[in-house]
Homo-oligomer: A and B are copies of this chain.
Amino acid sequence: MDLDPAQLRAFLAVTERRHFGRAAEELAITQQALSKRIARLEEVLGERLLDRDGRGARPTAAGERLIEPARAVLAACAAAVTAVRGAARPLRLDVWGHLFAPLRTVGAVAVEPGAVEIGHGRDLPSVLAALLRGEIDAGFGRHHALPDGRHRELAHRLVRLEPVDVVVGPDHPLAGATELRPCDLRTSQLLLPTAPARLEFLRRFAERFELTSSAVGSNLGAEHFLARLAATPTAVTLLPADLPLPDAPGLRGIPLVEPTPLYAWSLVWPKRAPHPGIPALLRAFTEAGRRRRWLEYHPERDWLPEAEAAQLGEAVR
């Protein structure tokens, strides 16, 4: 009699939330898939486990009897994993995309104390290499395909679509505007903190909205970059809308509309032997994202480069 832990997890999620849709969201599957899991579990056990009505679901008597034993099965599974791998160690998470301050988002996610160790940040290739070598367990940043195909060994989940503002210096001709369209920037120069090949989002923005771009130089730091921006009247750059601007004199962040560019943040982790804490981390991000509406996307008014390149389906995956 083989009980499937995924089915038990689905069942427990519904008993906790009393609602198939929210349980499905917690598990990051569709409601229909969750419904099927429950149905399969009910078929294996030969008992109705949940009474459904138009407002949700609640456990039957048989379902009530299953709740604690189901938790025990999942705990036994976790203990078996721990026995093989040794004592549970914190999940090591590292981030990339320093200029867009990934730690803001990570910090907004409630995780169990001690369960996650957050690295100091690296660039994307370094994070991905560390993931593939098993030196870290997860990465957070804007994920895109790598030319050598190694990303295929990684799983990823889109967790946030963040609006991006344009940032200008005090002498920029459009500095007084309350909002701007990307096409208004055509006469401006997009300033890049480093080589464009390393900044896929900004490069795509420049291509899409026909800005010339100029790289400051090799990693001289955010302060230097922003000082350069402030001192260059024709220069603009992009930063997340809710990122506090540093104290560089006169810099303004102006909302972009028609369309608003969205920066896609994802979690990434190795497909092979994932750390046992990955599911909990994913759930924590999903929960935070639901509460803060991190995944809102309106195609008629937002610009999401992944959607243009038909990568969104994979990213949601």
**Contact of A81 with B45 at beta-carbon distance under 8 Å, contacts A2-B6, A5-B2, A5-B3 already known:** yes
Q: Does A90 contact B (CB under 8 A)?
A: no
Residue contact A77 to B274, C-beta cutoff 8 Å: no
Q: SS class of chain A's interface: helix, strand, loop or mixed?
A: helix
Residue contact A43 to B273, C-beta cutoff 8 Å: yes
Chain B residues near A77: list those with CB within 8 A. Answer: 1-3, 73
Q: Does A288 contact B (CB under 8 A)?
A: no
Closest B residue by C-beta to A43:
B272
**Contact of A45 with B1 at beta-carbon distance under 8 Å, contacts A62-B84, A66-B83, A69-B80 already known:** no
**Per-residue contact bits, chain A 67-108, to B (CB 8 Å; 1 contact, 0 not):** 011101101111111011100000000000000000000000
Q: For the complex, what is the distance from the CA of A77 to the CA of B69, rounded to whole Å? A: 8
Chain B residues near A272: list those with CB within 8 A. Answer: 43, 46
**Contact of A80 with B72 at beta-carbon distance under 8 Å, contacts A1-B274, A1-B276, A45-B273 already known:** yes
Chain B residues near A81: list those with CB within 8 A. Answer: 1, 3, 45
Chain B residues near A204: list those with CB within 8 A. Answer: none
Q: Does A293 contact B (CB under 8 A)?
A: no
Q: For the complex, what is the distance from the CA of A1 to the CA of B43, rounded to whole Å? A: 23
Q: For the complex, what is the distance from the CA of A76 to the CA of B276, rounded to whole Å? A: 20
Instruction: Please tell me the size bucket of the interface on A.
Output: 35 or more
**Per-residue contact bits, chain A 34-60, to B (CB 8 Å; 1 contact, 0 not):** 000000000111110100000000000
Most buried by B among A47, A77, A78: A77
Q: Does A150 contact B (CB under 8 A)?
A: no
* Chain A residues within CB distance 8 Å of chain B: 1-6, 8-9, 43-47, 49, 62, 65-66, 68-70, 72-73, 75-81, 83-85, 272-274, 276, 278-279
18 A-B pairs with CB atoms under 8 Å apart are A1-B77, A1-B81, A1-B278, A2-B4, A2-B9, A2-B77, A3-B77, A3-B80, A4-B5, A8-B80, A45-B85, A46-B273, A49-B84, A66-B83, A70-B80, A72-B76, A72-B79, A73-B80
Which 5 pairs across A and B sit closest by C-beta, in order of nearness? Answer: A46-B273, A69-B80, A76-B76, A2-B5, A73-B76
Apart from A1-B77, A43-B273: 16 A-B pairs, beta carbons within 8 A: A1-B274, A1-B278, A2-B4, A2-B6, A2-B77, A3-B81, A43-B272, A46-B272, A47-B84, A62-B84, A62-B85, A66-B83, A69-B76, A73-B73, A73-B77, A75-B76
